Amino acid sequence: MQLAFQSPQHALQVTQLKNIHDDTIWKRFQLGDEEAFGILYGQYLQVIYNYGRKYSDDEALLEDCIHGLFLDLWENRANLSVPNSIRFYLYASIKRRIYKESLKRKEQSYENFSDIERITGEVNESIEDLMVRAQSKVQQKASLRQGLLLLTANQRKAILLKFYKNLPFQEIALVMNLSIDNVYKLVSRGLVVLKKNVKNLNVA
C-alpha cells in the first residue's frame, strides 16, 4: 500500500468523503476503503508532523516515523477499534514511535556520546565511589544530601535515577520525558556541580 492518493477518477468520491464525520471515514478505512484512508492521511499528515516536532527536530526520523505509522495503520486496520479521538490516538502513536525510533538510532543521533563519556568519566567514577561509600557512612550520607540539594530539580532526579536506580540513559529519558541528549547534559553538568560542592563540604 503506497501513501499516495491523487488518482483523478476518484476525485468525486474523495470530495464526498471529506464531508463525512471522522468516525465514519475511520470505519470505511477499516473496511479497506483507500479513498477514506487517503482522507485521513491528508487531513492528519501535517497535524502529526507539527506534533512530532515537539519531540524531535530530525526531519528524516519524523518522515520515517510518520510513513511507518500510516503503513502500520493500513496493514492492521482490521484489528483497530474506533478511537474516541482520532487526533489524540495519532498523537499518542507517533509519540511512542518517535521514542522507540530515537532509541534505535541513538548511536547515529548522538555521535558525541563517547566524548561526553570521556569528559565525565573521571567525575562519574568519583561520584559513584562516593555514593557507594556514603551508603555505609552516616556523615557522608548527610554531606551528599546537602550536595544534592544544590542541584536543579532535573539534575538531581537524573543523577538519582542513574546512580541509585541504575537506570540506563534511555530509560531515564523516557521517565523524565526528555531527549537522551538532554539527560546526558543534566547528568554531566550535575555531576560536575556535585563533585565540586561535596568536595567543598570536606567529604572523605
Residue linked to cell 471515514:
25
**pLDDT tens sequence across 35-65:** 888 898 889 999 999 999 988 888 888 998 9
| This model's pTM is above 0.85 | no
CA distances from 89 to 44, 139, 202 (A): 11, 51, 53
CA distances from 173 to 23, 26, 139 (A): 35, 33, 32
Set out the domains of the chain in order of their start, with CATH numbers.
8-108 (1.10.1740.10), 110-200 (1.20.140.160)
Query: Which range in 33-47, 167-181, 188-202 is most confidently predicted, on average pLDDT?
Result: 33-47
Contact residues for 170 (Cβ-Cβ < 8 A; gap 6+): 103, 106, 180
